[in-house]
Amino acid sequence: MLSFLSTSPKSDVENLLKRAGYRLDARNKKGVVIVSVDNQEHLGDLAADYIVSREGKRFVVVVKASAEAFDPTEPVQRRRLVELDCAFALDGLLVVDLPERRIHRLGFKFPKERPLDAFFQIVIGGFLLGGVAGIIWLLAYLKLF
């Protein structure tokens, strides 16, 4: 589980980010999420340890302060990271692993499967275009066009 910044020295995190070329834009940045349940809205908040920028891009930063293993693919951690990434909607997410003194850049993709129907639609469209082109070629060849 990711630990919050309160258990780690802020100066170590900030120095690590600055040495890596990131500019500190905000500390303990709060975000808001509205959850609608049966058309009734519930307000919630999220917290990012830092917002930083580098080369014109802005990132949400989460600090991992404990010596626990860092696994962003573990469902609970992944959900938290995806939630922060979506809520702040910046250019990416950074996880600072303070015990290892490393910065991990994370990104998420949600590939959508193309249904088999789309494949068949493309194949049928290709046959139709080929058939029309064949008819035009035949008419031109027979000089009927």
Residue boundaries of the structural domains of the chain: 5-106, 114-145
Comparison of pLDDT for 3 and 48, the residue scoring more: 48
Listed in sequence order, the residues at least 6 apart from 105 whose beta carbon sits closer than 8 Å to its beta carbon are 59, 92, 93, 94
What digits encode the pLDDT tens for the residues 90-107?
898 998 988 888 898 988
Q: Across the chain, what does the average pLDDT equal?
A: 84
Q: Are 62 and 78 contacting, i.e. CB atoms less than 8 angstroms apart?
A: no
Q: Give the angle 112-70-82 at the CA atoms, nearest 5°.
A: 35
Q: Is the pLDDT at 2 greater than 60, yes or no? A: no
114 pLDDT tier (thresholds 50, 70, 90)? low
User: Which candidate, 95, 93, 98, 106, places its Cα nearest to that of 67?
Assistant: 98
Q: What is the pLDDT of residue 54?
A: 93
What digits encode the pLDDT tens for the residues 34-56?
889 999 999 888 888 999 999 99
Helix (H, G, I), strand (E, B) or coil at 39: coil
Q: Considering the entire predicted model, what is its pTM?
A: 0.64
CB atoms within 10 A of CB 93: 22
Task: Tell me if the domain spanning 5-106 has CATH number 1.20.140.90.
Answer: no
Q: Are 33 and 45 contacting, i.e. CB atoms less than 8 angstroms apart?
A: yes
Interatomic CA distance for residues 45 and 134, integer angstroms: 62
